[in-house]
């Protein structure tokens, strides 16, 4: 019985990150598609190309990345982040996610300049 638990948890630890990644990617794609349609429907009418949301999602992320290279935008973001770093429960969640994303950032502060 002990071996079954060991195999189960080993399999769970293997499958869970993959499943969560696929799920979050799917949710991101579905969200960007719906936002793109909501924004572009008045402009393009009934015309729709699958993947339009992904295209605009990538453009938005690139735009945010370009904006974050400006020092005044980073200062404004620090001001916006302030409430997230002061509320007890939100602080622990936000700081965990922030440190996780900082781990994957391409470089130090020199890259941002």
Q: How far apart are CA 7 and CA 2, in angstroms?
A: 9
Q: Where are the alpha helices (DSSP H) in the chain?
A: 2-44, 52-67, 71-81, 88-103, 109-112
Query: Is residue 55 assigned to a domain?
Result: no
pLDDT, position 59: 86
Q: Which pLDDT score, from 0 to 100, does residue 50 have?
A: 82
**Do 75 and 41 share a structural domain?**
no
Max CA distance (Å), the chain: 62
Assigned domain for 95 exists: yes
Assess if residue 56 is contained within a domain: no
pLDDT of residue 113: 47
Q: What is the pTM of this model?
A: 0.54
Q: Say which DSSP state 22 is in.
A: H
Residue appearing with tokens 């729709």 = 48
Identify whether residues 73 and 44 lie together within a single domain. no
Distances (CA, A) of 15 to 8, 12, 20, 22, 28: 10, 5, 9, 11, 20
**Residue range 68-103, pLDDT digits in tens:** 888 888 888 888 888 888 888 888 888 888 887 777
Is 57 contained in some domain?
A: no
User: Residue 28 in contact with residue 57, Cβ under 8 Å?
Assistant: yes
Domain region containing 9: 1-48
Q: Is residue 61 part of a domain?
A: no
Q: How many domains does the chain have?
A: 2
**pLDDT reported for residue 62:** 92
Mean pLDDT score across all residues of the chain = 82
Nearest to 94 by CA among 78, 110, 106: 78
Residue range 40-77, pLDDT digits in tens:
888 877 777 888 778 887 888 899 888 888 888 888 88
Give yes or no: residues 73 and 43 share one domain.
no
């Amino acid at each position: 019985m002990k071996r079954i638990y060991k195999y189960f948890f080993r399999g769970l630890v293997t499958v869970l990150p993959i499943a969560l990644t696929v799920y979050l990617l799917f949710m991101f794609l579905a969200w960007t598609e719906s936002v793109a349609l909501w924004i572009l429907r008045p402009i393009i009418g009934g015309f729709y190309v699958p993947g339009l949301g992904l295209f605009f999602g990538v453009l938005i992320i690139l735009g945010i990345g370009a904006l974050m290279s400006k020092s005044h935008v980073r200062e404004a973001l620090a001001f916006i982040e302030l409430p997230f770093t002061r509320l007890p429960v939100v602080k622990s969640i936000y700081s965990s996610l922030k440190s996780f994303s900082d781990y994957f950032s391409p470089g130090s502060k020199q890259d941002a300049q």
